[in-house]
Amino acid sequence: MTSKQSLVLLLAFAPALAAAQSQRAYIEIGSANFQPLPIALAPFRAEPGAEAVAAELNEVLRSDLVLSGIFKVLDPKGFLADPAEGFTAPTIRFSRWSDVGADGLVKALVRRVAGETVADLHLFEVRAGREVLSQSNRGGADATRLLAHRAADDIVQYYTHEPGVFRTRLLALRRLAGGNRELVAFDVDGRRPEVLHRDAGLVLLPAWRPDGKAILFTAYRSGRPELWTLDLGSRRPQRLLGLGDLTTGGVYSPDGTKIAFTGSANGNSDVWVANADGSDPRRLTTDPAIDGSPTWSPDGKRLCFVSSRSGNPHLYLMNADGSGQRRITFQGTYNQTPRWSPRGDLIAFTARDERKVFDVFTISPDTGKVQRVTQDQGRTNEEPTWAPNGRLLAFTSDRKGRPQLVVSSPNGEQQTIVTDDAAVLGTPAWGPLPR
């Protein structure tokens, strides 16, 4: 072959060689840093006579949005926009709001009409320069906080496509100085305490029925722990079930047709299940160790419970019929009070760490990965309960002295003490979404 032929052949294959060498490298980026969405609440405008209501509405809404953990509510001191600008997109200089870093903008006009409060709420996307939500809500003179909670729910719903939880209630046991116990319901922001039940004896471990119309709790009226229900309409307690020496920690299945509880019929503590009316109790665990504290998966097909069959209390999973029991926690020596998230992805629980401090943790039932929620915040953070949208946790904490309610994001980055009650609070239970 001549040099000319070689040269031509080389040129003929040159594109192939070049193509083989020019493949682009790719990398994958995940695990984003999620940060709250910056949102601005413009000072609400008020017609004469509604100024105080407008201010309260703004304050409660601001507090709710902060509590949600998904918003960064901007300080109004830094606002640059003209306070007199209007409520429609063409009348708003969005560049002023963008300059202060806002992605969302909330404006409202508050009026008093025939003794009622009317709040016209407007939500704007600053980057797009358009209105995305417009609502007019009204309520009685004492409904200002509820109007604000509803607005917060609507804003959360718009951004996340999931329901907000600010019209739900947090139930907690309040231990009074004289020894009496009360079941008290609070707003999510810890306000508006309402005593649902008062008992001279010991009551604990309340749980909501999924329809929100009744509560299941443990009481010692007969001298031993039994399950009782409280109808929230009549406020009448009624004994539901008592088995042997111990019947406690009852929780409703997600469809409300069954209850799971800790029972001891033969001197051995086990996980039991029964119909919601207390009939047909069936034992699910038979291990001679202490088994109890069940919690349902959101699909009702599985239960998580605590067992000391390995020597220390750890979390276990099983099917709703008691089959397929397997251990899921292998760290720590004292894991208790599991609560399955309504989203199904995490189970929150209390654990004692190597420094003998109680903290709240979460574990993935699928991967077994344990993550810490609280750390170096008092000596006891315990008894977590999930918001019905699974985006928030509530638990009790003694970081300020007396155990009080804390609302937290699931990773613990945003925690807020919501109560400052004179009494000790315990065993919180987050209520369902309003129907």
Closest contact distance (angstroms) between CB of 333 and another protein is 8
Taking CB under 8 A as the criterion, the residue among 42, 54, 70, 346 binding another protein is: 70
Q: Which two tokens stand for residue 434?
A: 């309003």
Binding-residue pattern over the window 359 to 378 for another protein, x denoting contact by CB under 8 A: x-x--------xxx-xxxx-
Q: Which stretch binds another protein (CB under 8 A): 22-30, 134-142, 213-221, 265-273?
A: 22-30
Q: Of the two residues 32 and 422, which places its CB atom closer to another protein in the complex?
A: 32
Q: Of the two residues 128 and 200, which places its CB atom closer to another protein in the complex?
A: 128
Q: Of the two residues 41 and 284, which places its CB atom closer to another protein in the complex?
A: 41
Map residue 147 onto helix, strand or coil.
Answer: helix
> Taking Cα atoms as reference points, which of 396, 402, 400, 399 lies closest to residue 427?
396
Phi first, then psi: what are they for 176, rounded to 5°?
A: -85, 165
Map residue 2 onto helix, strand or coil.
Answer: coil
Q: Of the two residues 151 and 284, which places its CB atom closer to another protein in the complex?
A: 151
> CB within 8 A of 264, min separation 6: which ones?
243, 244, 245, 246, 247, 270
Vertex 343: Cα angle to 351 and 364 (nearest 5): 40
What's the DSSP call for residue 244? Answer: B
Q: Of the two residues 124 and 159, which places its CB atom closer to another protein in the complex?
A: 159
Q: Which stretch binds another protein (CB under 8 A): 27-35, 87-95, 183-191, 295-303?
A: 27-35
Helical axes 144-160 vs 51-68, angle rounded to 10°: 40
What is the footprint of another protein within residues 135-164 (CB under 8 A)? 159-162
Closest contact distance (angstroms) between CB of 82 and another protein is 27
Q: Does 280 bind another protein (CB under 8 A)?
A: no
Closest contact distance (angstroms) between CB of 297 and another protein is 17
Q: Which stretch binds another protein (CB under 8 A): 40-48, 131-139, 233-241, 410-418?
A: 410-418
Closest contact distance (angstroms) between CB of 85 and another protein is 25
Taking CB under 8 A as the criterion, the residue among 50, 94, 97, 103 binding another protein is: 103
> Distance between CA 110 and CA 345 in Å, rounded?
41
Q: Of the two residues 25 and 114, which places its CB atom closer to another protein in the complex?
A: 25
Taking CB under 8 A as the criterion, the residue among 25, 84, 114, 422 binding another protein is: 25
> Distance between CA 124 and CA 109 in Å, rounded?
15
Q: Does 93 bind another protein (CB under 8 A)?
A: no
Q: Where are the beta strands (DSSP E) in 211-313?
A: 214-219, 226-231, 237-241, 246-252, 258-264, 269-275, 282-283, 291-296, 302-307
Closest contact distance (angstroms) between CB of 72 and another protein is 9
> CB within 8 A of 403, min separation 6: which ones?
380, 396, 397, 424, 425, 426
**CB atoms inside a 10 Å sphere around CB 119:** 26
Question: Footprint of another protein on this chain (CB under 8 A)?
Answer: 2-5, 8-9, 11-13, 15-16, 19, 22-37, 66, 69-71, 103, 127, 159-162, 330-332, 343, 351, 353-354, 359, 361, 370-372, 374-377, 399-400, 412-417
